């Protein structure tokens, strides 16, 4: 077990290393560096001035050296600015250049400085991740019980009318990406001119113009039922169908097993068989599916936060990518890649714990 964990952790670090290098490469292509130079030094500078500006600001170094600098294994660049003062990768304004450290990369805990938000990347990431964490918590609260219940009810009696109905619902939600369900939900529930809200308002059932809010920007200060329902449901919906289908398949398989027949034959009620014998084994597979669902949820989070203007991690990623904010984008990708890899690891380990037939060593 320890050997397995160590091997997986080593693979995780290697993957993260490769992926950050790819991101670093793709965000530091010559046209992007030219854009940065023109953004910092003025849009009308000539090509020669761009080259000299890049060389003076440490962008001229070889790719691997610059990646090492970001990582914190190669000393940061130093140089002199137009007034003859010292400047460099590790030298911040107002700090004595002599006291600045030589190494200041991710390994030293320094994630760099965002050019869009004018804040250190680490502080942006921690606030934004907190906001997304709240969103994800509620998504899980809605998604997991609903989908498991749907899957168990459908798989309990395969081929019954309930099974067919629930399976149709599940397949419909898996066919509805977030940008479709979000748009449909906003029109249905959060528009003062169309959908349900105007009718409810006319009948005096709701005091506001709309049932739910189509924007979640107010949810960043305080969550209410009104401003948070739609984003949560939008993300949860796409996952519900998938997990429910997996649970149904797993449940249907368990229900045909020999020991279930034995339990039935010894006279247990159907309810008893499902609750005490079938459920425990049927819920092992969905556990893996739920863990592996996290990377998909990440996509959903980016789309939904953009659609509902909720300024969490996904929204930050879009801002960073859209404005070529390299340090922030690298920070976001490190977080995203770690979420994916850690959930994969957890799902493997958890599966082995839940299913005694699986041995890892």
Partner 1 sequence: MDTLTHFQVFTTLLIRFLPVWIAMIATFALSVTFRKRLGLYGKLFDSTVGMVGLGFVLFWVFTALFADQIAPFDVLAQISPMKNVTAGTIEPNGAGVYLLGGDHLGRDVFSRMVAGSRIVISIAPLATLFAFMVGITLGLPAGFWGGKLDAVLSFLANLVLAFPVILLFYLLVTPEVVQTGLPQRMAAVLFILPLVFAILLTNSRLYVKPQLRNLIVGAIVVIGGWTYLALVSEADSGINVLPAAIDLIHVPANLLIVFVSVVFVNAPTVFRIVRGLTLDIRTRDYVAAAQTRGERPWYIMLWEILPNARGPLIVDFCLRIGYTTILLGTLGFFGLGLSPESPDWGSTINAGRKLLTTAPLPAIVPALALMSLVLGLNLLADGLREESLRD
Q: Does 324 bind partner 1 (CB under 8 A)?
A: yes
Q: Give me the least distance between CB of 308 and partner 1, in Å please.
A: 10
The binder of partner 1 chosen from 87, 104, 190, 251 (CB under 8 A):
190
Q: Segment 209-228, which members bind partner 1 (CB under 8 A)?
A: 214
What is the enclosing helix (H) or strand (E) of 79?
Answer: strand 78-80
Q: Give me the least distance between CB of 86 and partner 1, in Å please.
A: 31
Asked whether 310 and 219 are in contact (CB, 8 A), the reply is yes
**Binding segment (CB under 8 A) for partner 1, from list 75-83, 100-108, 266-274, 313-321:** 313-321
Asked whether 278 and 261 are in contact (CB, 8 A), the reply is no
Which two structure tokens, joined as six digits, stand for 172?
């419909």
Residue from 318, 309, 306, 320 nearest 113 by CA: 320
Q: Give me the least distance between CB of 299 and partner 1, in Å please.
A: 5
Of 72 and 331, nearer to partner 1 (C-beta) is: 331
Q: Give me the least distance between CB of 190 and partner 1, in Å please.
A: 7
Asked whether 31 and 54 are in contact (CB, 8 A), the reply is no
Give the CA distances from residue 320 to residues 70, 104, 115, 301, 314, in Å, rounded to whole numbers and listed in that order.
17, 21, 9, 15, 10
Q: Give me the least distance between CB of 83 and partner 1, in Å please.
A: 32
Asked whether 179 and 303 are in contact (CB, 8 A), the reply is yes
**Binding segment (CB under 8 A) for partner 1, from list 60-68, 114-122, 134-142, 189-197:** 189-197
Q: Does 123 bind partner 1 (CB under 8 A)?
A: no
Q: Give me the least distance between CB of 191 and partner 1, in Å please.
A: 4
Neighbour tally for 217: CB within 10 Å: 13
- Phi-psi category of residue 358: left, alpha or beta, with phi > 0 → left and psi -120 to 50 → alpha: beta
DSSP annotation of 84 reads: S
Q: Does 306 bind partner 1 (CB under 8 A)?
A: yes
Residues within the interface to partner 1 (CB under 8 A):
15, 18-19, 22-23, 26-27, 29-32, 35, 171-172, 174-177, 179-180, 183-184, 186-187, 190-195, 214, 295, 298-299, 302-303, 306-307, 317-318, 321-322, 324, 332-333, 336-337, 340-341, 344
């Amino acid at each position: 077990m320890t050997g397995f964990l160590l091997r997986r952790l080593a693979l995780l670090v290697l993957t993260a290393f490769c992926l950050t290098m790819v991101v670093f490469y793709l965000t530091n292509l010559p046209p992007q560096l030219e854009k940065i130079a023109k953004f910092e030094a003025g849009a009308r500078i000539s090509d020669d001035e761009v080259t000299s500006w890049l060389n003076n600001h440490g962008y001229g170094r070889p790719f691997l050296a610059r990646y090492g600098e970001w990582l914190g294994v190669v000393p940061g660049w130093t140089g002199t600015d137009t007034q003859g003062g010292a400047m460099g990768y590790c030298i911040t304004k107002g700090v004595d250049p002599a006291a600045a450290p030589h190494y200041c990369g991710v390994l030293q805990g320094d994630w760099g400085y965002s050019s869009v938000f004018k804040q250190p990347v680490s502080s942006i990431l921690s606030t934004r991740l907190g906001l997304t964490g709240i969103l994800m918590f509620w998504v899980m609260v809605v998604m997991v019980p609903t989908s498991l219940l749907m899957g168990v009810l459908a798989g309990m009696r395969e081929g019954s009318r309930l099974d067919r109905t629930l399976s149709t619902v599940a397949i419909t939600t898996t066919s509805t990406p977030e940008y479709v369900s979000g748009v449909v939900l906003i029109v249905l529930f959060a528009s003062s001119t169309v959908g349900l809200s105007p009718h409810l308002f006319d009948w005096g059932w709701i005091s506001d113009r709309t049932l739910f809010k189509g924007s979640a920007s107010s949810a960043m200060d305080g969550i209410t039922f009104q401003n948070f329902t739609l984003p949560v449901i939008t993300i949860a919906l796409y996952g519900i169908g998938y997990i429910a289908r997996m649970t149904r398949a797993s449940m249907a398989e368990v229900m045909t097993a020999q020991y279930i027949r034995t339990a039935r034959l010894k006279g247990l009620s159907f309810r008893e068989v499902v609750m005490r014998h079938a459920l425990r084994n049927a819920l092992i597979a969905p556990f893996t599916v739920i863990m592996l669902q996290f990377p998909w949820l990440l996509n959903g989070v980016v789309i939904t936060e953009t659609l509902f203007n909720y300024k969490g991690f996904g929204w930050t990623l879009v801002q960073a990518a859209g404005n070529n904010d390299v340090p922030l984008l690298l920070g976001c990708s490190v977080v995203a890649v770690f979420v994916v890899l850690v959930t994969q690891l957890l799902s493997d380990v958890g599966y082995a714990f839940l299913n005694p037939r699986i041995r890892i060593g």
